[in-house]
């Protein structure tokens, strides 16, 4: 109100055409969230300085008007106004917020041409955009380029780089960034430390994540959530419960993110009653409204415990439509417990919500096979073959000596592929002595049995495991990342391989982490 009174006084004395005064008005309105008022002042200016453009573009970007910020930037170029690092940074932030990949690539080229791509502000915005669009390798290239140029790093560039390492599960790279943190002193920043915890957890190093957590005295809710979520991701359910109670003792109250992790932990341990208790506690004691992720956790809790009908009732009574992840959770439970009736219900919904996801057809076919409905299995396979649904090719990767090695199913291009196949054949022979048998029901290719066994043998995670056995020290855990859900055959294979080799094998698939030790998996054979 006072700001508008000042604006009226400025008009009264005739200063509204003064560039400096108008810039101050734009800034004032923007900081008050009155972007429309700021834009009116901007549009009425007879002449504008670089500060005028920067302030207006930055205001639009910060207040959710990303498209307007982009449009104004284009207008600025047409008027021939030279932009600054701040201009490019603001527009990049706008592009990142609206995931405008084409525009961001154009802006990056523009920044290089204008020699601003390695300015700390522009670099931060670019890193953020790369990470948001899962272009993790490009983000790391930019970070290393900035390091070579001797540019100063800040908490935002470091945080984004750590997120890129987490996305790639590039542990060695992440360790190197952590070393940079120790030199710069940024490791004590609460947001950077939270990113570190998330990175170590996603790289399969939950112990290192806890070391970072324990080293920090200041702990925000984001920080607590990072550690609790990390433990939940690795099925360390007891640690989740302990931290959940401890944070409240320290007057840090849980939010929606905290409860997602806690409910996930209950699911991993099969704690139905405890899960229901936390779900009700969330609503009644902490006045939080459950969202779709909380309901998904509850469906998973009931399903994992074999209470399939209770899970279905939860879905029917939800205050909103079930998502693909919720129906997928129900279908997975039906696969484990052989509930054909509800498997068909869940699959029908999934075929509508995810028409291009071949994995749903495979899960339903497995339920048919478990119920000895061979005619339905054949129909399911034929339907998948005749449809336009394409199964995404399996890809796994493993980090060896600061280099990420990727393997596709049936890989042929790796320089050591002949040696890998030879070693894998030998490993399969040894595991067959321990009663390993290829579970061809998990392969829906319309080919003969022998060909199916060959396809299963050459799944990407088996190739990555073999390469890890060849290259890593005998006492080092083998960490494998995969772009799809691990199939039942590979899961059984990893369990036996961990027992035969005496190695810890950690596989991160799209659902969760699997820690294979001494012939057992942390998931309890439910994923």
Angle between helices 50-62 and 19-31 (to 10 degrees): 10
User: Which pLDDT value is given to residue 107?
Assistant: 58
What is the predicted pLDDT for the residue at 3? 57
Q: Can you read off the two tokens belonging to residue 344?
A: 């068909």
Please tell me the total count of domains within the chain.
1
The pLDDT score that the predictor gives to residue 137 is 86
Is residue 514, in this structure, part of any structural domain at all? yes
Range of the domain at 462: 395-521
The one-character DSSP state at 130 is H
**469 part of a folded domain:** yes
The per-residue pLDDT for 182 is: 81
Written as tens digits, the pLDDT of the chain (527 aa) is 565 656 666 665 566 667 787 778 877 887 777 888 888 888 888 788 888 878 888 777 777 777 777 777 777 777 777 766 666 666 666 665 555 555 555 655 565 555 554 455 666 777 877 888 788 888 888 888 877 777 777 888 888 899 999 988 888 889 988 988 887 777 778 889 999 999 999 998 999 999 999 988 888 999 999 999 999 988 888 899 999 999 999 999 999 999 999 999 998 888 899 999 999 999 999 999 999 999 999 999 999 899 999 999 999 999 989 999 999 999 999 988 989 999 999 999 999 998 888 888 888 988 888 888 888 888 887 777 777 666 678 899 998 887 889 999 888 999 999 999 999 999 999 999 988 887 765 554 544 555 566 778 889 999 999 999 999 999 899 999 998 889 888 999 999 999 999 999 999 998 788 999 999 998 877 76
CB neighbour list of residue 382: distance below 8 Å, 6 or more residues apart: 446
SS3 content of the chain, % helix, strand, coil (to 5): 65, 5, 30
Query: Using CA atoms, how far apart are residues 328 and 301, in angstroms rounded to an integer?
Result: 13
Residue 422 resides in a domain: yes
Q: In the Cβ-directed half-sphere of 237, how many Cα atoms lie within 13 Å?
A: 15
| Sequence-separated (6 or more) residues with CB below 8 Å from residue 158 | 177, 180, 181, 184, 186, 192, 195
Residue 470 belongs to some domain of the structure: yes
């Amino acid at each position: 109100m006072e700001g508008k009174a000042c604006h009226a006084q400025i008009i009264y004395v005739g200063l509204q055409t003064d560039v400096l005064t108008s810039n101050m008005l734009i800034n004032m309105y923007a900081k008050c969230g009155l972007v429309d008022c700021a834009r009116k002042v901007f549009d009425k200016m007879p002449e504008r300085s670089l500060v005028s453009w920067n302030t207006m573009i930055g205001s639009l970007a910060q207040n959710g008007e990303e498209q307007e910020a982009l449009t104004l930037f284009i207008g600025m170029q047409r008027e021939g106004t030279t932009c600054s690092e701040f201009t490019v940074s603001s527009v990049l932030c706008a592009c990142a917020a609206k995931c405008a990949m084409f525009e961001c690539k154009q802006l990056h080229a523009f920044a290089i041409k204008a020699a601003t791509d390695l300015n700390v502000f522009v670099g931060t915005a670019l890193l953020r955009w790369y990470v948001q669009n899962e272009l993790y390798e490009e983000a790391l290239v930019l970070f290393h380029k900035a390091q070579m140029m001797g540019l100063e790093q800040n908490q935002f560039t470091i945080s984004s780089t750590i997120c890129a390492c987490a996305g790639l599960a590039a542990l060695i790279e992440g360790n190197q960034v952590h070393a940079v943190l120790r030199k710069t002193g940024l490791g004590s920043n609460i947001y950077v430390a939270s990113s570190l915890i998330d990175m170590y957890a996603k790289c399969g190093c939950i112990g290192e994540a806890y070391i970072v957590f324990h080293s920090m005295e200041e702990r925000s809710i984001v920080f607590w959530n990072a550690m609790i979520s990390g433990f939940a991701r690795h099925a360390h359910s007891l640690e989740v419960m302990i931290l959940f109670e401890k944070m409240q003792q320290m007057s840090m109250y849980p939010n929606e993110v905290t409860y997602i992790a806690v409910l996930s932990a209950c699911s991993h341990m099969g704690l139905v009653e405890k899960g229901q208790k936390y779900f009700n506690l969330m609503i009644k004691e902490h006045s939080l409204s459950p969202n779709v992720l909380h309901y998904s956790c509850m469906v998973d809790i009931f399903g994992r415990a074999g209470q399939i009908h209770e899970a279905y009732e939860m879905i029917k009574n939800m205050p909103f439509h079930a998502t693909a992840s919720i129906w997928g959770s129900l279908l997975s439970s039906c696969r484990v417990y052989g509930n054909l009736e509800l498997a068909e219900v869940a699959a029908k919904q999934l075929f509508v919500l995810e028409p291009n996801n071949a994995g749903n057809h495979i899960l339903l076919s497995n339920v048919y096979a478990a119920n000895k409905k061979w005619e339905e299995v054949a129909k399911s396979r034929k339907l998948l073959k005749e449809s336009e649904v394409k199964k995404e090719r399996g890809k796994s990767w493993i980090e060896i000596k600061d280099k990420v090695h990727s393997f596709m199913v049936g890989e042929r291009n790796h320089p050591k592929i002949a040696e890998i196949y030879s070693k894998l054949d030998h490993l399969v022979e040894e595991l067959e002595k321990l009663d390993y048998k290829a579970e061809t029901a998990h392969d829906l290719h319309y080919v003969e049995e022998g060909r199916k066994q060959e396809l299963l043998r050459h799944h990407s995670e088996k190739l990555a495991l073999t390469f890890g056995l060849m290259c890593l020290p005998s006492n080092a855990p083998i960490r494998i990342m995969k772009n799809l859900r691990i199939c039942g055959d590979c899961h059984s294979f990893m369990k036996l391989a961990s027992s035969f080799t005496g190695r810890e094998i950690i596989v991160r698939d799209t659902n969760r982490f699997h820690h294979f030790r001494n012939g057992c998996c942390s998931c309890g054979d439910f994923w």
